[in-house]
Amino acid sequence: MHLHILGICGTFMGSLAQLAKAQGHRVTGSDQGIYPPMSDQLEKAGIEVIAGFDPAQLDPAPDYVIIGNAMSRGNPAVEYVLDRGMPYISGPDWMGKYLLADKWVMAVAGTHGKTTTASMLAWLLEFGGMNPGYLIGGVPENFSTSARLTDSNFFIIEADEYDTAFFDKRSKFVHYHPRTLVMNNLEFDHADIFDDLAAIERQFHHLVRTVPSTGQVIYPVENDALQRVIAQGCWSEQALLNHSGGWMVEALLADCSQFNVLYRGDIVATVKWALSGEHNMANALAAIVAARHVGIEPHTSAEALAQFQSVKRRMELVGEAGDIRIYDDFAHHPTAIKLTLSGAKAKGIIEKRAGRLIAVLEPRSNTMKLGEHKAKLAASVEDADAAYWLEPEGLSWSLTDALVGMNNQTVCQSVEALETQLLQDLRTGDDVVIMSNGSFSGLHRSLLAKLKEHTER
């Protein structure tokens, strides 16, 4: 079958393309922004990518056009497909029908931690000899790609609540039909497509409805939004996290780099690993419980986590110059920012780092730009000794006003000005955490290179 993908270079669609290619299909696609790392992965997979959306790319007609959720009416290729009545489908729907239908799907949903938890879960199954397939919205460092197809019955997928396509406004995850479902947490996000938290809860309820009675739903009991989701109806076994009658964790070190796993009050495993932070400990617990649902015991998962290497852009150490460490992190929601910085602070204390914790942030997501989280920004960086912000062009609200009353906050209007300020202010021993859900114009590596130049003089 010849599949042509409109919007092929996004993380999800590019990964889907590689999975379809591995199934034996002929896969081509097009996009506006064609750049590494996805362009490199597609080229390596032997997938032809066309720049732009000229309808000529659809002649001769493919068997199916898979349309990404970044595509909208008015796009010339989309209009050509509709005008000629060509068969088309969304990426999530294609995944559900043609790749996941005969698999034991293990889905990881939630506002935060999806990528990390899904990566952990894939590694736990790999370590346990189950050779799982997976599609993850990042690059797990224990593996070489963001997606793979195997002959295993098990498939792990990062289950996103964002809408499916211009013709299907349901969340992507309703197409996956998981047998094991992790719901890490739930807060308001994606203000560009959801009116309020209740609207997102309804989509999560639709997801829960697809889990069979023989399946399992795993979630933390203290999350009020998830409790409301479950109250709308749940027909599957429930595994409760952070509950004395279910699963709990007990930190043995302040940075959570060692912790016990408890089931109904009894210690069933002890984890010693390279990660830190309460959020990662919570992610690990969810992954351990999900792995147990398919037969991997917690003590085996603990052994696997000792070798877990995290995910690119999750507190990833970019490099060091003059005892100044530069980290890259994807955090873009106030809760995620706060958890990341809390974990970084605890790790710095454990390692006896003498310098400061510096946060560098770009409020780039649609929800951030709309100002939905502006009241929470100041509290999100409380654990940092200083925070530096890039104010994006066209922001309808003032970052400076949102940070009133906070000390050591610097707001810059350009990446160049931000980098110049950092080069002036950074001191030996500082840990610098650069946070954005985009590339931040390459600030991480540019800053590191200039710090190295200064150190070598």
What is d(CA 362, CA 333) in angstroms, rounded to the nearest whole number?
11
Q: Does domain 100-305 have CATH number 3.10.20.30?
A: no
Q: The tokens of 399 are what? A: 């970052």
Could you check whether the bond before residue 37 is cis, i.e. omega within 30 degrees of 0?
A: yes
Model confidence over 384-396: pLDDT tens digits?
Answer: 899 998 887 777 7
86, with CB counted inside 10 A (0-12, 13-18, 19+), is middle
Q: Return the sign of the alpha-carbon dihedral for residues 153, 157, 161, 163.
A: negative
Q: Give the pLDDT score at 371.
A: 65
Q: The tokens of 208 are what? A: 């829960």
Selected residue with higher pLDDT from 316 and 68: 68
User: Is the pLDDT at 118 greater than 90, yes or no?
Assistant: yes
pTM: 0.80
- Least Cα distance to 121 among 137, 109, 132 occurs for 132
241 strand-pairing partners: 220, 247
What is d(CA 189, CA 186) in angstroms, rounded to the nearest whole number?
9
The residue behind tokens 């840990």 is 431
Model confidence over 161-182: pLDDT tens digits?
Answer: 989 999 999 999 999 999 999 9
190 band by pLDDT with thresholds 50, 70 and 90: confident
Mean pLDDT of 117-128: 96
Question: Domain coordinates of the chain in residue numbers?
Answer: 2-91, 100-305, 316-456
Model confidence over 248-288: pLDDT tens digits?
Answer: 999 999 889 999 999 999 999 999 998 888 889 999 999 99
Q: Are strands 88-90 and 258-263 parallel, antiparallel or unpaired?
A: unpaired
Average model confidence (pLDDT) across the chain: 90
Q: Give the pLDDT score at 283.
A: 94
User: Is the pLDDT at 347 greater than 90, yes or no?
Assistant: no
- Least Cα distance to 430 among 413, 412, 447 occurs for 447
Q: Give the pLDDT score at 266.
A: 96
Q: Return the sign of the alpha-carbon dihedral for residues 158, 163, 165, 168.
A: positive
Q: Give the pLDDT score at 312.
A: 66
Model confidence over 16-42: pLDDT tens digits?
Answer: 999 999 999 999 999 997 777 778 889
For residue 354, give Cα distances in angstroms to 208, 277, 285, 321, 349. Answer: 47, 19, 31, 15, 8
224 C-beta neighbours (distance < 10 Å), count: 12
Q: Give the pLDDT score at 405.
A: 72
What is d(CA 42, CA 261) in angstroms, rounded to the nearest whole number?
40
Model confidence over 140-163: pLDDT tens digits?
Answer: 888 878 899 999 999 999 999 989
CATH topology of domain 316-456: Protein-Tyrosine Phosphatase; Chain A (3.90.190)
Percent of the chain with pLDDT over 90: 59
Phi, psi for residue 243 in degrees, rounded to 5: -140, 135
Model confidence over 220-243: pLDDT tens digits?
Answer: 999 999 999 999 999 999 999 999
Element (H, E) at 6: strand 2-6
Q: Class assignment of domain 2-91?
A: alpha beta
Residue 61 DSSP symbol: P
Selected residue with higher pLDDT from 284 and 343: 284
Q: Give the pLDDT score at 336.
A: 80
In this chain, the answer to whether the domains covering 100-305 and 316-456 adopt an identical fold is no
User: Is the pLDDT at 135 greater than 80, yes or no?
Assistant: yes
